[in-house]
Structure 1
Amino acid sequence: MQLPSLQQGKLIQRYKRFLADIQLPNGEQTTIHCPNTGAMIGCATVGDTVWFSTSDNPKRKYAYTWELTETQTGDLICVNTQRANQLVQEALQNNWIAELSEYQQIQAEVKYGDEKSRIDFLLDEKCFVEVKSTTLLTEKGIGMFPDTQTLRGQKHLRELTSVANQGNRAVVLFAILHSGINSFQVAEQIDPKYAELCKTAQLNGVQMLCYKATFLRQDGVPTAMELVEPILFE
C-alpha cells in the first residue's frame, strides 16, 4: 500500500486524543490531527519522529495527519488506525494471507450478529474476518492487544463465537503495525475479559491470525507498507 507523501517533525505532546503538537525541521511548531483514539502506549513519546501527511481539503481545521511514529530506537509504527483495514484488504486481494487465499469475493463493513455489529471483511459470504490494529510492544519484544480495555473488542469476540457455532468460518486478524514486534500475545493484564472471551472463541473454532506490516522507504522517507509476514500467536 502506497502511503501519501510524508513529512517529518518531532513530537512535543499528544493531547485531547485527537491532537498533537510537533516541531518541524525549521523550528516552527504546529498542531496536527491524530487519527487514533487509543492509549498509544509507546507510540507517542516526546522526541519521537512524527511522519505526517497533508490534506488539501480547505474545510479541515488541521491540514496535517499523523501517519507514522519513528521511535528513538528506530522502530516504525503506523498510528493511523484506518490503515489497518486498507492493508488487510490489499493483502486479501493479492493472496498474501495464505490462510485466507482460497476466497474470491471480498465485502467490507457488512452488518451481522445479534449485537448489531459490522464485520470488517466477509469473504465468499461464509468467512468473517475481524481486523485488530496492534501497536503495543512490551519490554520483552512481544506485541499485545488490546492496549486498553475494549468493550467493542469484547463484543466482536462474542459475535464471532456465535458465527463459528453456526458453522461459518470466523477469524480475528491482528494486523501488527510496529516493526519491533516479532510475536504476539493477548494482553490479559490490560483487559482480562477480552482475554477470557478470546480463549472461549478459540475453543469454539474462531481462528486467530497475526500478520506484520513491512515498511518500505525511499531516501529515508517511508513510502509504503505491506502486510505479508505471518508471526507467532502465543
Structure 2
Amino acid sequence: MIFQTPLVPATLVQRYKRFLFDAVLDDGSAITGFCPNTGSLRGLTTPGSRIWLSEHDSPTRKHRYMLELVSVGDTVVGINTGLPNRIAEVAIRIGQVGNLARYATLHREQKYGRNSRIDMLLSDQEMGLAYVEVKNVHFSRARGLAEFPDSPTARGAKHLEELGDMVEAGHRGIMLYLIQRDDCDRFRICGDLDPIYAKAFRRAVTRGVEAFALKCRVSPQQIAPDGLIAMDEPAFADL
C-alpha cells in the first residue's frame, strides 16, 4: 500500500485521550492531530519520537493531521488500525497467506456471528467459505518478537470465539495477525498482559481456527506485506 500523498514528518510531544496527539512539525509549527488507534500503543508514545503524519484538508475533519508512523530505534512502525485490512487483502491476493489466494471471491466487512462483522469473507464453489479476522500488531518488547495484544481486549476474545463457531459450522476460521513493523521474525500471544485473550486463543486453536502472523515492510513511502513469520511455541502453550 503506497501512501497517495507524501507523509509529513514531525516530532511527537504527547499522545492523550486515546484519539489525540500533540506534535511539532519540522517548520516549528505546533499541531494537535488525530490518532487512529484506540489501543495503549505501549512503547510507541515516547515524547520526542520521530513520527509521520498524513494530511487531510476536508472541511468535515476536525484535525488536519493524522498519525501514521512512529520511529522506534531503527524501525518504523505503522499504528493506523484502518490500514491492516487493505494490506491483508493484498497479501492474500498475491499468495502470501497459505492457500487463500485460491478462493474465487473476497468480500470485506460481512455480517456474521453475534452482531459482528468479519474483516474478510472468502468463498469458492469447491473450497467453501473462509472467515478471516485481521488484527493489527505493533507491539514488541524483545528483539525480533512481535506480540499481541498490548492491552486487554474483550472484543478480540469475542472474535476468536466467533471464528471457532464458524469452524464448528463447517467453514474455515482464520486469525491473521498483521505486523506493521519489519524488525520481527516471530510472533506470540501476549498472555501476561491479557490472560483472557490467551485462553480464548488456545480454545480457538483447539476448535480448528487457523492462525497466521504476517510481517510488513514499513517506510514513509509505503507499507507492504512481506510474508509469514513463525508463531512462537508459547502462543500454543498448554493446548
Number of the residue aligned with 1:106 = 106
Aligned pairs for 1:72-221 within 5 A: 73-113=73-113, 115-124=114-123, 126-216=129-219
For normalisation by structure 2, the TM-score amounts to 0.91
In structure 1, distance between residues paired with 2:130 and 2:192? 30
In structure 1, distance between residues paired with 2:90 and 2:70? 22
Number of the residue aligned with 2:23 = 22
State yes or no: 1:228 paired with 2:226.
yes
For normalisation by structure 1, the TM-score amounts to 0.93
What letter corresponds to residue 109 of structure 1 in structure 2?
Answer: E
What letter corresponds to residue 68 of structure 2 in structure 1?
Answer: E
1:51 shift after superposition: 0.3
Kindly indicate whether the alpha-carbon contact (under 8 Å) linking 1:137 and 1:178 is maintained by their aligned counterparts in 2: no
- Secondary structure at the aligned position of 2:147 is classed as strand
* Identity value in percent: 34
Mind listing any 5+ residue stretches in structure 1 that lack a counterpart? 217-221
Number of the residue aligned with 2:235 = none
What letter corresponds to residue 95 of structure 2 in structure 1?
Answer: N
Kindly indicate whether the alpha-carbon contact (under 8 Å) linking 2:37 and 2:79 is maintained by their aligned counterparts in 1: yes
Mind listing any 5+ residue stretches in structure 2 that lack a counterpart? 233-239
Kindly indicate whether the alpha-carbon contact (under 8 Å) linking 1:137 and 1:180 is maintained by their aligned counterparts in 2: no
Kindly indicate whether the alpha-carbon contact (under 8 Å) linking 1:214 and 1:229 is maintained by their aligned counterparts in 2: no
1:206 shift after superposition: 0.4
Distance verdict in 2 for CA 1:61–1:74, change over 3 Å: same
Kindly indicate whether the alpha-carbon contact (under 8 Å) linking 2:216 and 2:224 is maintained by their aligned counterparts in 1: yes
Number of the residue aligned with 2:55 = 54
In structure 1, distance between residues paired with 2:104 and 2:217? 24
1:142 shift after superposition: 1.3
Number of the residue aligned with 2:237 = none
What letter corresponds to residue 152 of structure 2 in structure 1?
Answer: Q
Kindly indicate whether the alpha-carbon contact (under 8 Å) linking 1:12 and 1:47 is maintained by their aligned counterparts in 2: yes
1:233 shift after superposition: 0.8
What letter corresponds to residue 100 of structure 1 in structure 2?
Answer: L
In structure 1, distance between residues paired with 2:56 and 2:190? 35
The two structures, once aligned, show a CA RMSD in angstroms of: 1.3
Runs of 4+ residues deviating >3 angstroms: none
- Secondary structure at the aligned position of 1:91 is classed as helix
1:180 shift after superposition: 2.2
1:61 shift after superposition: 1.6
- Secondary structure at the aligned position of 2:188 is classed as strand
In structure 2, distance between residues paired with 1:226 and 1:64? 22
> What are the Cα deviations for residues 158-214 of structure 1, in whole angstroms up to 9, with x where unaligned?
101111111111100000012222211101001111111111111111000010011
1:156 shift after superposition: 0.4
Kindly indicate whether the alpha-carbon contact (under 8 Å) linking 1:215 and 1:225 is maintained by their aligned counterparts in 2: yes
In structure 1, distance between residues paired with 2:89 and 2:23? 31
What letter corresponds to residue 185 of structure 1 in structure 2?
Answer: R
In structure 1, distance between residues paired with 2:82 and 2:222? 15
1:140 shift after superposition: 4.0
